[in-house]
Amino acid sequence: MKVTLEPYNPRWQDDFYRHKLTIESAIGHLLGSVDHIGSTSLGDIAAKPIIDVLVGITDQSLLDETIEPMLNAGYTYIEKFTPGMPYRRFFAKLMPLSGKPLPSILTTNDVLSFGVDYNTVVNIHAIERGSYHWMRHIAFRDYLLAHPDIRIEYERLKLEIAKIDFSDPLDYNAHKEGFVSKHQELAVRWFLTQKTRSK
């Protein structure tokens, strides 16, 4: 299965704001911030048409309180990913591809059927605002926005990886990991330097 990348679409910003309003309505009492991250936030590069949303929760102890309201708002809780990233609660908006009902929770025992029974249209990362893992997402986005040469390099890499026929669509992310890890580390340093200079 090949990953589909699309040219930048201004509609992605509108899609983000629409989901931002839904999230604020569902868990506004837990929120510190809601940010558009990922490639669809970068303004001019090809991306998978999946909106990534970073939800900054005011305290890590409140993470589990996001689950029920987000389910009620129509999102699927991907519990399967929580053991590997206990600092995050991950939700998705799914679009059905078959006649099967969409799951409300995908547990550690469930087989992910991305690209078979459903596609993802929105990924939501709920993380404590101000924590390292929250900051690294913001830093990577802002770093790419501030460095167009690296942003273009990232796009070229993604276009090359998208030519590969993967048996598991999650392997696409694994093939980007070297670039992302390297530049995310640089991005965090750059981000902290920018914050220091602005004081």
As a whole number, mean pLDDT of residues 112-138 equals: 93
For 57, 96, 120, 121, 169, the CA distances from 114, given in Å and listed in that order, are 27, 10, 7, 11, 7
Q: Return the pLDDT at 167.
A: 79
Kindly state whether residue 6 falls inside one of the protein's structural domains: no
As a whole number, mean pLDDT of residues 107-123 equals: 88
Kindly state whether residue 43 falls inside one of the protein's structural domains: yes
Residue 169 has pLDDT above 80, yes or no: no
Domains held by the chain: number: 1
User: What dihedral do alpha carbons 85, 113, 91, 150 form, nearest 10°?
Assistant: 70
CB-based contacts of 97: which residues, under 8 Å, 6+ apart?
Answer: 115, 116, 117, 118, 119
For 19, 101, 112, 171, the CA distances from 174, given in Å and listed in that order, are 27, 29, 16, 5
Full residue range of the structural domain in which residue 18 is found? 11-198
Kindly state whether residue 189 falls inside one of the protein's structural domains: yes
Q: Return the pLDDT at 199.
A: 66
CA dist 81 and 56 (Å) reads 18
Kindly state whether residue 69 falls inside one of the protein's structural domains: yes
Backbone φ and ψ for 45, nearest 5 degrees, come out as -120, 155
Kindly state whether residue 126 falls inside one of the protein's structural domains: yes
The letter for the amino acid at 60 is Q
pLDDT tens sequence across 33-59 = 999 999 999 999 999 999 999 999 999
Q: Return the pLDDT at 197.
A: 80
The letter for the amino acid at 172 is Y
CA dist 107 and 81 (Å) reads 8
Residue 1 has pLDDT above 90, yes or no: no
As a whole number, mean pLDDT of residues 94-118 equals: 89
Look up the CATH number of the domain holding residue 148. 3.30.460.10
Asked if 23 and 55 count as a contact pair (C-beta separation under 8 A), the reply is: yes
As a whole number, mean pLDDT of residues 140-158 equals: 97
Kindly state whether residue 36 falls inside one of the protein's structural domains: yes
CB-neighbour burial class of residue 99 (10 A; exposed 0-12, middle 13-18, buried 19+): exposed
Q: Return the pLDDT at 99.
A: 84
Kindly state whether residue 192 falls inside one of the protein's structural domains: yes
Kindly state whether residue 20 falls inside one of the protein's structural domains: yes
Backbone φ and ψ for 36, nearest 5 degrees, come out as -85, 120
As a whole number, mean pLDDT of residues 162-179 equals: 88
**Which residues, listed in sequence order, are joined to residue 147 by a DSSP beta bridge?**
none
pLDDT tens sequence across 67-83 = 999 999 999 999 999 99
Least confident range from 27-31, 97-101, 132-136, 137-141: namely: 97-101
Least confident range from 99-103, 109-113, 167-171, 172-176: namely: 167-171
